[in-house]
Structure 1
Amino acid sequence: MLLEHAKILFAVRASGEIAGRKKFQKMIYIAKKLNFPFQEKFDFHFFGPYSEELSLRIEELVNMGFLVERAEKIGGYVQYRYSITGSGEEFLKMFPLEEDFPFLKPCFLDMNEKSGRFLELVSTVLYFESLPKFAVTEKIHSLKSKQGYTEEEIDRAYEYIARLKELYKADDDSREKIRM
């Protein structure tokens, strides 16, 4: 159980800070699809893949004082920012994740530079990756019509996924080490 919490903390530390609950969810989902061993179960929800387990773990990390959740008003809504605390850093010392995941930090830094909207699109493409591209595009236009994703944005999402897989995909040895 605590290892799963540590993995989430490690992702936040690797990112520096994550702005937005939706973005946090998408980053973990994308990393999971890249074979980083996050164990949370994801289902399709309003904004794409969503994990109730991940939401609960984040809440637990905040309650334990390992993660800071800051609310800030942006326009007409509240956005939450997440960063690791000193206690969280101390907790992470019990788990040598950096040695086992050399690509996690650059991967999370890369994703953290992207907008939540774009990561929502990327995670949706990955959720339906078993379908042909034309079917995924139809699903995006149907399920995500309010976002108004263009063909160019969908193409960029596919290109980004290919780049992530080329640069950061975790190998079987890394996955096995971290499950222990």
Structure 2
Amino acid sequence: MEHAKLLKVLADTKKITGRKKLQKMIYIAQKLHYPFYEKFEFHMYGPYSEELTLQMEELDHLGLVRVYKEESEELLFTMTEEGEAFLQQSNVELPSTWACMNCLNQQSARFLELVAALLYFGHLPIEQLRQKVAMLKRQPQYEQVEIDEAFHFIQALKERQFSLA
């Protein structure tokens, strides 16, 4: 079932560039209450799910997803024809992810890393949250204006009703 959900995301986005971007997109969607159930822990680049990495590797080995490198040396994730057929036959119940996932996919992996970090520590008061992100995310260094943009982006995601809460 979880595999079909990931295929649905790839069907909606056509392609996702970079493992980090894929990780952050799924994490952010999860925080917006989309039914993704992978476990995430905070790592060097923010929330990371070993489960998600393994699921994508399985989809690749099954021939349902194509994972390859572009000239930029970043991994590209696309769905194969076999993946499309599998998705059509599955009865995956997932709210429409098209608008949300395409919005996220248009952002840089660096920006999504910041957004995901803010959501991960979202239980903290704003000033503590800013300090935590500044401390943990020294590389890459984020300017205050970027942090403010990330807060506005999160609010916009919620206001656009991408959140299913």
Tell me which of 80, 84, 100 is aligned to 2:79. 84
Question: Out of 98, 107, 112, which is 2:105 matched to?
Answer: 112
Q: Please point out which of 101, 126, 150 is paired with 2:119.
A: 126
In structure 1, distance between residues paired with 2:159 and 2:79: 29
- Report SS of the residue matched to 2:39: coil
User: Which residue, 144, 148, 154 being the options, matches 1:151?
Assistant: 144
**AA aligned opposite 1:107:** C
Q: CA deviation at 1:146?
A: 1.7
CA-based RMSD:
1.2
Pairwise mapping of residues 40-79 of structure 1 onto structure 2 (< 5 A)? 40-74=38-72, 78-79=73-74
Per the alignment, residue 136 of structure 1 pairs with: 129
How far does residue 96 in structure 1 lie from its aligned partner after superposition? 4.6
Q: TM-score, normalised by structure 1?
A: 0.87
2:90: which partner in 1?
95
> How many aligned positions are there?
164
Which runs of no fewer than 5 residues in structure 1 stay unpaired? 172-180
Which amino acid in 2 is paired with 1:135?
Answer: Q
1:178 maps to what in 2? none
Query: What's the secondary structure of 1:157's corresponding residue?
Result: helix
2:150 match: secondary structure: helix
CA deviations 1:139-176 (Å, max 9, x no partner) are: 111111121101111111111111111221125xxxxx
- Write out the 4+ residue segments of structure 1 that deviate beyond 3 Å after TM superposition: none
In 2: Cα distance, 1:8 partner to 1:80 partner: 16
Relative to its length, the structure with more helix (as a share) is: 1
Structure 1 residues 37 and 49: CA distance shift in structure 2, 3 A = same
In the alignment, the residues of structure 1 paired with residue 10 and residue 137 of structure 2 have an alpha-carbon distance, to the nearest angstrom, of 27
Residue 82 of structure 1 aligns to a residue in which SS?
strand
**1-structure distance, mates of 2:18, 2:115:** 16
